[in-house]
Structure 1
Amino acid sequence: MELLALVLVVVLVTGFDYTNGFHDAANAIASAVSTRALSLRGALGLAAVMNLVGALAGTGVAVTVASGVIATPQGGGGLTVVGAALVGAILWNITTWYFGLPSSSSHALIGGLVGAALASATQVHWSGVLTKVAIPMVVSPLVGLTLGYLVMIGLMWLLRRANAHQAHRWLRRAQIVSASSLALGHGLQDAQKSMGVIVLALVITGHQEDYTVPFWVILLCATALAAGTWSGGLRIMRTLGRRIFNLTPAHGFAAEISAASVLYMTAFVFAAPVSTTHVMTSAVMGVGATRRRSAVRWSVAGDIAVGWVLTAPAAATVAALAYGVISLF
Structure 2
Amino acid sequence: MPDLAGLLLLTVVLALLFDFSNGWHDCANAVATVVSTRVLSPLAAVVLAGALNVAGAFFSTAVAKMIGGGIVFPDAITNHVVASALAGAILWNLFTLILGLPTSSSHALIGGLVGAAVAHGGWSVVQFKGLRAILEAMILSPLFGFGVGFLIMLGVSWVFFRVPRGIATKIFSRLQLVSASFMAFSHGANDAQKAMGIITLALVASGQLSTAEVPTWVIVACALAMGLGTVVGGWRIMRTLGMRIVKLEPVHGFAAETGAASVLLFTAHFGLPVSTTHTITSSILGVGATQRLSAVRWGVTTKILSAWIFTFPGAGLLGAGVYAVLVSVS
- In the alignment, the residues of structure 1 paired with residue 255 and residue 47 of structure 2 have an alpha-carbon distance, to the nearest angstrom, of 22
- In the alignment, the residues of structure 2 paired with residue 10 and residue 165 of structure 1 have an alpha-carbon distance, to the nearest angstrom, of 51
1:28–1:182 contact (8 Å) kept in structure 2: yes
1:257–1:26 Cα change, 3 Å: same
1:232–1:3 Cα change, 3 Å: closer
Alpha-carbon deviations, 1:150-175, whole Å to 9, x = none? 00010011111112112112211111
1:85–1:319 contact (8 Å) kept in structure 2: yes
- In the alignment, the residues of structure 2 paired with residue 193 and residue 143 of structure 1 have an alpha-carbon distance, to the nearest angstrom, of 21
Alpha-carbon deviations, 1:272-306, whole Å to 9, x = none? 11111121111000001111111112223322332
- 1:142 corresponds to 2:146: no
**TM-score, length-scaled by structure 2:** 0.90
- In the alignment, the residues of structure 1 paired with residue 102 and residue 53 of structure 2 have an alpha-carbon distance, to the nearest angstrom, of 18
- Is the partner of 1:161 in helix, strand or coil? coil
1:247–1:94 Cα change, 3 Å: farther
Residue 102 of structure 1: CA displacement? 4.1
Residue 73 of structure 1: CA displacement? 4.4
After superposition, residues 153-302 of structure 1 pair within 5 angstroms as: 153-232=154-233, 247-268=248-269, 270-302=270-302
| Amino acid in structure 1 at the alignment position of 2:107 | H
Residue 312 of structure 1: CA displacement? 1.3
- In the alignment, the residues of structure 1 paired with residue 94 and residue 223 of structure 2 have an alpha-carbon distance, to the nearest angstrom, of 20
After superposition, residues 21-60 of structure 1 pair within 5 angstroms as: 21-60=23-62
- Bigger mean CA deviation after superposition, 153-162 or 120-129: 120-129
| Amino acid in structure 1 at the alignment position of 2:89 | A
- Is the partner of 1:94 in helix, strand or coil? helix
**TM-score, length-scaled by structure 1:** 0.90
- Bigger mean CA deviation after superposition, 160-169 or 32-41: 32-41
Residue 67 of structure 1: CA displacement? 0.4
Per the alignment, residue 115 of structure 1 pairs with: 115
- In the alignment, the residues of structure 1 paired with residue 98 and residue 250 of structure 2 have an alpha-carbon distance, to the nearest angstrom, of 28
- Is the partner of 1:328 in helix, strand or coil? helix
1:27–1:280 contact (8 Å) kept in structure 2: no
Alpha-carbon deviations, 1:183-239, whole Å to 9, x = none? 1101001111111111111111111111111111000000111111123369999xx
- In the alignment, the residues of structure 1 paired with residue 94 and residue 20 of structure 2 have an alpha-carbon distance, to the nearest angstrom, of 11
Give the share of equivalent positions with the same residue, in percent. Answer: 49
- In the alignment, the residues of structure 2 paired with residue 146 and residue 290 of structure 1 have an alpha-carbon distance, to the nearest angstrom, of 11
- Is the partner of 1:22 in helix, strand or coil? helix
1:40–1:167 Cα change, 3 Å: same
Residue 100 of structure 1: CA displacement? 5.4
- Is the partner of 1:211 in helix, strand or coil? coil
1:99–1:235 contact (8 Å) kept in structure 2: no
Residue 328 of structure 1: CA displacement? 1.7
- In the alignment, the residues of structure 2 paired with residue 149 and residue 85 of structure 1 have an alpha-carbon distance, to the nearest angstrom, of 36
Alpha-carbon deviations, 1:114-159, whole Å to 9, x = none? 111122225111221001x111011111111001000001001111
Per the alignment, residue 130 of structure 1 pairs with: 132
Per the alignment, residue 318 of structure 1 pairs with: 318
2:28–2:49 contact (8 Å) kept in structure 1: no
Residue 65 of structure 1: CA displacement? 0.6
Per the alignment, residue 15 of structure 1 pairs with: 17
- In the alignment, the residues of structure 1 paired with residue 28 and residue 49 of structure 2 have an alpha-carbon distance, to the nearest angstrom, of 9
| Amino acid in structure 2 at the alignment position of 1:46 | L
Per the alignment, residue 69 of structure 1 pairs with: 71
- In the alignment, the residues of structure 1 paired with residue 36 and residue 94 of structure 2 have an alpha-carbon distance, to the nearest angstrom, of 24
- In the alignment, the residues of structure 1 paired with residue 13 and residue 129 of structure 2 have an alpha-carbon distance, to the nearest angstrom, of 30
Residue 78 of structure 1: CA displacement? 0.6
1:182–1:100 Cα change, 3 Å: farther
Per the alignment, residue 90 of structure 2 pairs with: 90
- Is the partner of 1:13 in helix, strand or coil? helix
| Amino acid in structure 2 at the alignment position of 1:35 | T
1:226–1:263 Cα change, 3 Å: same
1:100–1:236 contact (8 Å) kept in structure 2: no
1:42–1:93 Cα change, 3 Å: farther
RMSD: 2.5
Q: Unaligned regions of 5+ residues in structure 2, if any? A: none
